[in-house]
């Protein structure tokens, strides 16, 4: 789930600014989308990198090259937003923590694929804090857990990179209504199952997980080691 504009490349800069964390609570998807677009379009070399952590009311989002055929119930009352990130369709709703990563990759000297790995590593670190073993899946960005031999998705990842700066980000299912995922082929995969932390018997608050995820993201993005 990555969309990269031509001309993007990593250029090492030792003076990368600290990452600012913004906890935004429950926010309408369109409001935050427009704010991300504006921040990315208007930022300059002095603009700080930011991570926005929040929840959304129920919404489906369809990536730039996404196919509407992956929305299985065209009569759903849940709104569908067409966005510029890479990838297919996914669902956001209350009880899912979303982290939007507004990061200048050029300034930090991080390549796009490496950045994706850093985001996935942060999700794995967050789940590990609750004794859950998250894992990657080849060719399918996001994080998965193995439930009695079934590979089930617990976190999604989708990015847009413009002029070397990222927006959109990751979403981790904490304690949410998972039924809307049955109305789609999540991320374009028919039959892909989804799960949340609550279903695994883990019951932290969304706010607590947001703080853990924020710390993990900052640590992984700022690390000099490869993920």
User: pLDDT tens-digit profile of 77-97?
Assistant: 999 999 999 888 999 999 999
Helix axes 112-128 and 206-222, enclosed angle (nearest 10): 140
Which position among 165, 187, 209, 213 bears the catalytic label?
Answer: 187
**Band (5; pLDDT cuts 50, 70, 90):** low
Q: What is the CATH number of the domain that holds 199?
A: 3.30.930.10
On whether the CB atoms of residues 55 and 78 are closer than 8 A, the answer is no
Domain assignment present for 56: yes
Please choose, from the candidates 195, 225, 153, the residue with its C-alpha nearest in 3D space to the C-alpha of residue 1: 153
pLDDT at residue 227 greater than cutoff 80: no
The boundaries of the domain holding residue 120 are 2-222
Domain assignment present for 166: yes
| More confident position, 219 or 64 | 219
Q: What is the pLDDT of residue 2?
A: 52
Q: What is the mean pLDDT of residues 128-137?
A: 97
d(CA 70, CA 167): 24
On whether the CB atoms of residues 153 and 85 are closer than 8 A, the answer is no
- In the residue annotation, 165 being an active-site residue is answered as no
Domain assignment present for 227: no
pTM above 0.85, yes or no: yes
d(CA 113, CA 150): 27
């Amino acid at each position: 789930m990555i969309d990269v504009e031509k001309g993007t490349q990593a250029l090492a800069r030792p003076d990368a600014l600290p990452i600012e964390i913004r906890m935004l609570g429950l926010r309408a998807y369109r409001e935050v989308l427009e704010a991300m677009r504006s921040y990315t379009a208007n930022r300059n070399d002095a603009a700080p990198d930011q991570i926005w952590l929040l929840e959304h009311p129920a919404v489906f989002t369809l990536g730039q090259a996404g196919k509407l055929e992956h929305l299985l119930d065209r009569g759903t009352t849940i709104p569908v937003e067409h966005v510029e990130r890479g990838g297919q369709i996914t669902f956001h709703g209350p009880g899912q923590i979303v982290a939007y990563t507004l990061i200048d990759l050029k300034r930090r000297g991080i390549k796009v694929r490496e950045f994706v790995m850093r985001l996935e590593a942060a999700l794995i670190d967050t789940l590990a804090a609750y004794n859950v073993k998250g894992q990657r899946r080849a060719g399918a960005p996001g994080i998965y857990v193995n439930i009695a031999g079934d590979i089930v998705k617990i976190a999604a990842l989708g990015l847009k990179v413009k002029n070397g700066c990222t927006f959109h980000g990751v979403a981790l299912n904490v304690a949410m209504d998972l039924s809307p995922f049955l109305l789609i082929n999540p991320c374009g995969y028919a039959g892909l199952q989804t799960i949340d932390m609550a279903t695994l018997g883990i019951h932290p608050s969304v706010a607590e997980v947001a703080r853990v995820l924020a710390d993990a993201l900052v640590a992984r993005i700022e690390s000099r080691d490869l993920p």
